[in-house]
């Protein structure tokens, strides 16, 4: 997803988050789609060479999921 194509609501939420967008969206998608714990997501990302704490993934989910739900409801 190019930055110019990003929905304004999502851009506002992601403004101060410092990880790559792809990493955050993959973690949030896995959290929403599968019954995984945040610690499992942390381990899965570490296996892929991305070191992120489980509490960070939890914060991403709390910030991004409501905005994504709003965007998907509109469409």
Domain residue extents for the chain: 21-74
Q: Is the distance from CB of 66 to CB of 2 less than 8 angstroms?
A: no
Q: How far is CA 59 from CA 5, 42, 75, in A?
A: 24, 13, 25
Q: Is the distance from CB of 45 to CB of 23 less than 8 angstroms?
A: yes
Tell me: pLDDT of 18 over 90.
no
Q: What's the pLDDT at 5?
A: 67
In whole angstroms, give the CA distance from residue 4 to residue 73.
21
User: Does this model's pTM top 0.85?
Assistant: no
Q: What's the pLDDT at 75?
A: 74
Tell me: pLDDT of 2 over 60.
no
Q: DSSP letters of 13-47?
A: HHTT--S-HHHHHHHHHHHHHS---HHHHHHHHHH
Top-confidence residue, 73 or 30: 30
């Amino acid at each position: 997803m190019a930055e110019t194509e990003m929905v304004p609501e999502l851009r506002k939420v992601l403004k101060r988050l410092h990880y790559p967008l792809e990493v955050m969206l993959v973690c949030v998608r896995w959290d929403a789609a599968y019954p995984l714990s945040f610690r499992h997501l942390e381990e899965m990302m570490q296996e892929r060479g991305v070191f992120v704490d489980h509490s960070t993934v939890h914060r991403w989910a709390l910030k991004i999921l409501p905005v994504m739900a709003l965007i998907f409801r509109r469409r």
